Amino acid sequence: MAASELDRVTMVVLRYMRRPFFALVLVYAIGIIGMALIPGRDADGNVEYMSLFHAFYFFTYTATTTGFGEIPGAFTDEQRLWAIFCLYTGVIAWFYAIGSTIRLLQNPHFTHVLNERNFASTVKRISEPFFIICGFGDTGSLLARGLSDHNFAGVVVDADPERIKALALRDYTVKMPGLCADASVPQYLVDAGVTHPNCRAVVVLNSDEDTNLQIAVMAKYLNPDIRVVCRSTSLRHEEHLRELKGVTVIDPFEIFGQLLSMAITTPKLHNLNSWLVRAHGVKLGQALQVPKGDWILCGYGRMGQWFRKYMANHGIYPSIIDPNVDLNEHIGSEMIIQAYADRKTLQEAGIEEVAGVVAGTDNDSNNLGILLNTEALNQKAFTIVRQNNHDNQIVFDAANVDLVLQSSLTTARRILKFLISPLIQTLIDYLNDQDQRLTDDLIQRLQNTVGDQIPHLWRVNLCKREAAAATELLNDGIPATLLDLTRNPLDRQRTLDCVPLMMQREGECIMLPSDWQRIQLGDEIVYCGTERSEQLLLATLNNPYTLKFLVSGIDPPRGYFFNWLDQRLNRSKSAAAVES
């Protein structure tokens, strides 16, 4: 525990308890000295004085109200009078001390300092990799749940005490300590573990852009090697953040634009991406059936601009309805209507003939109203709606919508995907630029391997710390392939339920490597499979006997005796061969 943390607790305790403490000391000192100075009588009537030890013992047991009697002999009237005085003053002093203690325990400043001390101690004891989440709103809460589902620990810092109370009620599978504090204060970032060797990244999700920028800068100064993932919707702040080394900026509006465009232009890839992030109700291979034709975009804020940009890359220019759109700025769209999206403007945009409608304003009520008008005017239109508030989930679930995109949920999934492996989004972008058949082949392979099981993503680094047996094998010059690593230890002819999605080697990414791809030291491999497959694969990579058996098909002898016996048999065979 840091000395500064202990000093803050001690300072608060002394500030509130020094007067009660001195009051007790003063009452006890006066009472004990007075009792020792007042003469008493023994059984023979001789004068005697009580020792300081007996006086202290008398005051100690009378403070408990048990009353063991007068010691060492019966008191004189003078002693009893003094005892009465001391008992009353002692009770008053104890009431004063107990009341001060209760006030101290109820003091919010003391509670905060004590919580901070306990929080810092808890974080220091974390022995597994963890992530710091600054901001526990909708996105932070969903991200924490995703980390828990993937068995990653998290540390939460939020200035809202109600959110920290809500954190304590969550049923996470891993430890998620939380602190009510302003994460832009460096001391709280240190308490959260920004300099901890097991801290993998700092995720900044506050609603205030200036606060997010400050936290990102502070984190990089405190730990230059730490990864920082920062949500930002401000162009000015994004430009500043992108200039910082090791800072990844997540723009929710850009993510919305990508997902909307992907759902319309490459629905199979959208299905694969949703399945990889465990989107609710998504089954691999069951892509959205999006009709071909014109589209109407209701709402042209930053999300709408990103959506139009990605759609334009595929030669699709939707009609735009927004009261704040600049009529002279955009060229190429089918139609631009500077008004609110109501029944009249939807009809003006040709709602009866379009293939689909995107309700993408920043108001959930407006989006739901657009859906009702669309259903009344064109029931065949494909509908995509933007959900801004997580509390409205019940209403959007009840609405007849083909695709709902929730801002906080999509942002949390993108960040989670980046934290697990930054290469996953690289694979999605790669597939988006390739022929559709490559996506179809990958989907078919994942269906055959993973099937209806819950997909699980993980990364393997072929280094001594994470794969001791594989490192030893490669150092011995024994060649091995990806297929050798994923053979089932229980049946070598079968493979584990996992698929290598990509391999990073010396800064180069090998997308969708084949089973016969040779492995090298330092390779970083991203797999998709089941949690059981990850456990078996990690066990193989760190067990030299299992790995050699899977690579060669020969089960080597284990232990000193069997090694000695095997060497002797080999020498006997060699000698017999020479004689013959």
3-state SS string for 77-120: HHHHHHHHHHHHHHHHHHHHHHHHHHHHHHCHHHHHHHHHHHHH
Question: Residue 291, preceding bond cis, omega within 30 degrees?
Answer: no
CB 512 within 8 A of CB 428: no
**Using CA atoms, how far apart are residues 342 and 365, in angstroms rounded to an integer?**
12
Instruction: Give the torsion sign (CA, 295, 301, 307, 309).
Output: positive
Can you read off the two tokens belonging to residue 533? Answer: 């497959």
CATH fold label, 258-420: Rossmann fold (3.40.50)
CATH of 435-552, one of 3.30.70.1450, 3.30.1130.10, 3.40.640.10, 3.30.450.40: 3.30.70.1450
CA distances (Å), origin 188, targets 32, 125, 141, 156: 47, 16, 20, 11
User: Is 125-250's fold the same as 258-420's?
Assistant: yes
Q: Could you give phi then psi for residue 228, rounded to 5 degrees?
A: -125, 125
pTM for this model (two decimals): 0.76
**Using CA atoms, how far apart are residues 309 and 333, in angstroms rounded to an integer?**
11
In our burial notation (b when 16+ CB lie closer than 10 A, e otherwise), range 284-313 reads beebbebeeebbbbbbbbbbbbbbbebbee
227 contact partners, CB below 8 Å, separation of at least 6: 200, 201, 202, 246, 248
CA distances (Å), origin 563, targets 178, 386, 543, 548, 555: 53, 66, 17, 15, 12
Can you read off the two tokens belonging to residue 80? Answer: 């009893």
Q: DSSP assignment, residue 434?
A: S
**Using CA atoms, how far apart are residues 148 and 241, in angstroms rounded to an integer?**
28
Q: How do 456-461 and 524-529 pair as beta strands?
A: antiparallel
Q: Which amino acid is at 419?
A: L
**Using CA atoms, how far apart are residues 457 and 526, in angstroms rounded to an integer?**
7
- Map out the domains of the chain as residue ranges: 3-106, 125-250, 258-420, 435-552
**Using CA atoms, how far apart are residues 495 and 490, in angstroms rounded to an integer?**
10
Q: DSSP assignment, residue 75?
A: P
**Using CA atoms, how far apart are residues 449 and 238, in angstroms rounded to an integer?**
40
Domain 125-250 of CATH type 2.130.10.10: no
Strand partners, 487: 495
CB 9 within 8 A of CB 116: no
CATH architecture entry for 3-106: Orthogonal Bundle (1.10)
Can you read off the two tokens belonging to residue 151? Answer: 């068995």
3-state SS string for 369-425: HHHHHHHHHCCCCEEEEEECCHHHHHHHHHCCCCEEEEHHHHHHHHHHHHHHCCHHH
The per-residue pLDDT string of the chain (580 residues; one tens digit each, 9 = 90 and over) reads 444 555 666 777 777 788 888 888 898 898 889 888 888 887 777 888 888 888 888 888 777 766 667 777 788 888 888 888 888 888 888 888 888 888 877 777 777 778 888 898 899 999 899 999 999 988 999 999 989 988 889 999 999 989 998 898 888 888 899 999 899 899 999 999 999 999 999 999 998 899 999 999 999 999 999 999 999 888 888 888 888 888 999 888 888 888 888 888 889 999 999 898 888 888 898 888 888 888 999 988 888 888 888 888 888 888 999 998 877 765 566 688 888 999 999 999 999 999 999 998 989 999 999 999 999 999 899 998 998 888 888 898 888 888 888 888 888 988 998 888 778 888 998 998 888 899 999 999 999 999 888 898 888 999 888 899 899 888 988 889 999 899 988 888 889 999 999 998 887 889 999 989 999 999 999 999 998 999 999 999 998 888 888 888 776 655 555 455 555 555 555 555 555 5
Cβ count near 238 (within 10 Å): 18
Can you read off the two tokens belonging to residue 61? Answer: 């047991």
